[in-house]
Amino acid sequence: MTNHETDERSLMLSVKEAAGALGISVSGVYRLIDAGDLHRIKVGSRTLFERRELERYVADRRAAGAHEHAETEESKLAVLLLSGGLDSTTTLAIAQDLGYRTAAISFRYGQRHSLELEAAQAIARRAGVEQHVIVDIDLAKFGGSALTADIDVPKSRSVEEMGDGIPATYVPARNTVFLSFALAWAEVLGADDIFLGVNALDYSGYPDCRPEYIAAFERMANLATKRAVEGQRLRIHAPLIALSKAEIIQRGLQLGVDHSLTRSCYDPTPAGAACGECDSCLLRLKGFAENGIEDPAPYRATPIAA
């Protein structure tokens, strides 16, 4: 291979250029990213693709005898973990935009408040999910977290402080427990896709929000279920895992998410107003500020973004 050919193969393409190379729309490229079928590279605020990544995608589609991604997925049912927060609500919108029918699962797990569950119910109704179940499990019996025990929720921390170690708001094995319930329900429903809104950028201290964790759980799920053993491969989708909070909010705006319905605060008032000081509030406020808009959720006082 000549040097010129090597340079051509490593050429980086923009979203628009990738869309042209694949013969699809720009929104179609984002759908492929959301579905995990096309892998991007982030360079600052830019989304880029290696030419060989597009070649890989085309080869994979041809080998599978697939047509348009939306056509293959439009009638499939997906189970989605819905907390009532900004991330899971955006993930729900992404799954539906990809053409999935959706069933949502939420958890009453001994958390500090029930506001997020009330939000989840409103969001599920608004989105028209086919089924929404709330499962009762009591992780407060174990404690070990500021969300399930009498431990102070960290307040007024900088973004740098948030990324320093595993925070007190980490609930031991929570995503493993939640995904296990979602996996069981998905098998009963005959669904081969599970969506969740984990994010590795804003919650880098959470070990169960990392890409390698999601990949490991998917491998386990395909070893542990009757459906997978009989040939129906299960996929775990985490479309927000490499996005910043600002990008998640922007994606939600593109998909028509009503952010006023979502609740993210770790320590709200009894009336339901967000504290504006916990890590979740500060990251959320920062994301809205970076988009140049005001967070429509109610706050206890006028908050200051981190």
| Span of 11-20, 125-134, 210-219 with lowest mean pLDDT | 11-20
Mean pLDDT value of segment 114-131: 95
> Domains of the chain by range and CATH?
1-73 (1.10.10.10), 74-290 (3.40.50.620)
Whole-structure pTM value: 0.77
* Single-letter residue type at 132: H
Q: Which residues contact 158 (CB under 8 A, 6 or more apart)?
A: 306
Tokens of 168: 């007190």
Instruction: Check: CB of residue 19 under 8 Å from CB of residue 26.
Output: yes
Tokens of 86: 């900004």
Planar angle of CA 210, 214, 218, nearest 5 degrees = 165
How far apart CA 184 and CA 176 sit, in angstroms, is 12
Among residues 4, 70, 15, which one has the least CA distance to residue 247? 15
The H-assigned helical ranges of the chain are 3-9, 15-22, 26-34, 51-64, 69-73, 86-97, 115-127, 159-162, 174-189, 211-224, 226-229, 245-254, 279-290
Tokens of 124: 């599920």
* pLDDT at position 204: 54
Query: 305: pLDDT confidence band, cut at 50, 70 and 90?
Result: low
3 state SS of 104: strand
Whether 183 shows a pLDDT value over 60: the answer reads yes
Q: Which residues contact 17 (CB under 8 A, 6 or more apart)?
A: none
* pLDDT at position 54: 81
Backbone φ and ψ for 175, nearest 5 degrees, come out as: -65, -30
Planar angle of CA 122, 125, 130, nearest 5 degrees = 140
* pLDDT at position 62: 66
Query: 25: pLDDT confidence band, cut at 50, 70 and 90?
Result: confident
DSSP states of 31-63 as a string? HHHHTTSS--EEETTEEEEEHHHHHHHHHHHHH
